[in-house]
Structure 1
């Protein structure tokens, strides 16, 4: 199925498409969670945007990052909530318009075991680096940081993919991986018995959280959409939405932040092209 959230749209959208004039605004949500969880989480925002923009709003997602980026560039969505490096790639390649980003920022955190702490980054040579999502921005940030210090993935160390931040931490704790890549939120999620046995080797510079972008055909409406998104936190629907996540609110994304993503945007393009 091209957009796996269509069934959930029919459930959550109600009859507003028939009650309000205008063509529906199609919002694409990066598939970071299951379609059902995403649709439920963003329902307060959908209701709010329909009221503010006086147009029906539909929400969709895709099966994976590669499909989502394909659907984005194909023009399947009017607005998208996407990863920062995918947002920058869409802007660079097709003129998509950055609208807003969440207040919560992110960064790569490199961890090592307490009983075998790393003193020099060169100790990673020939060893395992535990990672969670090879397409994630913080993983790319960490690998670029290592590359700048002379360590290239698969040449100098092995990047081993684990299913969760917890399993990354456990691999480091058990000595299976000399170092792991996580995030501040991932670090907080670790069980106490794991957290007590690891230490932070390095915290890399912060990067933006998820970014809202608009298709170029939405240029005339972009300012109105941005205003609505920035005011969302002040509404009852906003309070409901932000109570269920760590996003905190929204703000404009700066040109400097976008330019800082250029290297990661080029790398995510290369990685996605290599996927089946």
Structure 2
């Protein structure tokens, strides 16, 4: 398994002056690298665009290189996290709880708001309610995403059995799920209401909402630190990120990702996600073996 490095900007160069794409072997030494593994919940270009202000601020404040890495898909990213490949992680809620329980990652920060599943259909479709989707296809970010679990629960509450009354179509990201709707490959999509904020406006304008789930999935993302990092290092990075979100650029950054702000995690806060972790582990256990 390799980690896919989207970019590495060296602090010794002007911001944006050097753009490198390459791969690193898993289990790279921690050292003092300020490397963030970000879950691939959005397309790579969108992740790069959205997280650029944070990267620039951290490089300038901490006077060191910052890199962003990820993996091709959710399962690969979760596997890398469980192997402790990333010094710092920005991951989805149930994967964060799994990383805390089984890999020892330390929860640092989270958005103030929880997220819900948003049900979206093509703007000119006739659908008015989730019950109208009986016999139809709903695109999702795949079985590893909490929002897919929220959507399945919502269907059951509406009297529809996932996989029987409604077909759930897995996609790579929230954005590709929306593309499936506008391109006619699916009738509707379940995506995170927070991820929808980060979707480009030309795609947003082609869909409309049928509402959102009453059930929430916890924080949309959790910022975490590797268990081998010192308390001093974790506190330094945490303080820098919290300082960033108080700046005008930082406030724009969190708004672009659908957050209200970032705040420190409370002890035991992720425990409420244990039911989703059990479902995640079941999905992982049923994953086909690689050839």
Aligning the two structures, in what range does the TM-score lie when normalised by the shorter sequence? 0.7 to 0.9
Q: Which has the higher strand share?
A: 2
User: How far apart, CA to CA, are the structure 2 residues paired with 1:111 and 1:212?
Assistant: 28
Between Structure 1 and Structure 2, how many residues are aligned? 258
Provide the TM-score with structure 2 as the length reference.
0.70
- The answer to whether structure 1 residue 24 and structure 2 residue 36 are counterparts is no
Between stretches 248-257 and 184-193, larger displacement belongs to 184-193
Flag the structure with larger Rg. Answer: 1
Q: 2:66 pairs with 57, 60, 64, which one? A: 57
Q: Cα offset for 1:131?
A: 2.6
Q: 1:148-184 CA deviation, whole Å, 9 max, x = no partner?
A: 7875532554223463336447869xxx75x753443
Provide the TM-score with structure 1 as the length reference.
0.73
User: How far apart, CA to CA, are the structure 2 residues paired with 1:264 and 1:129?
Assistant: 23
- The answer to whether structure 1 residue 158 and structure 2 residue 170 are counterparts is no
Q: Which consecutive unaligned segments of at least 5 residues does structure 1 have?
A: 17-21
User: How far apart, CA to CA, are the structure 2 residues paired with 1:243 and 1:193?
Assistant: 22
Name the structure 2 match of 1:48: 57
User: How far apart, CA to CA, are the structure 2 residues paired with 1:28 and 1:193?
Assistant: 31
- The answer to whether structure 1 residue 133 and structure 2 residue 141 are counterparts is yes
Q: 2:242 pairs with 212, 230, 234, which one? A: 230
Q: Cα offset for 1:32?
A: 2.9
- The two structures, once aligned, show a CA RMSD in angstroms of 3.7
Change (3 A) 1:108 1:169: farther
Q: 1:98 pairs with 91, 104, 107, which one? A: 107
Q: Which consecutive unaligned segments of at least 5 residues does structure 2 have?
A: 14-30
SS at match of 2:215: coil
User: How far apart, CA to CA, are the structure 1 residues paired with 2:189 and 2:56?
Assistant: 40
Change (3 A) 1:110 1:39: closer
Q: 1:230-251 CA deviation, whole Å, 9 max, x = no partner?
A: 2211235525634654334211
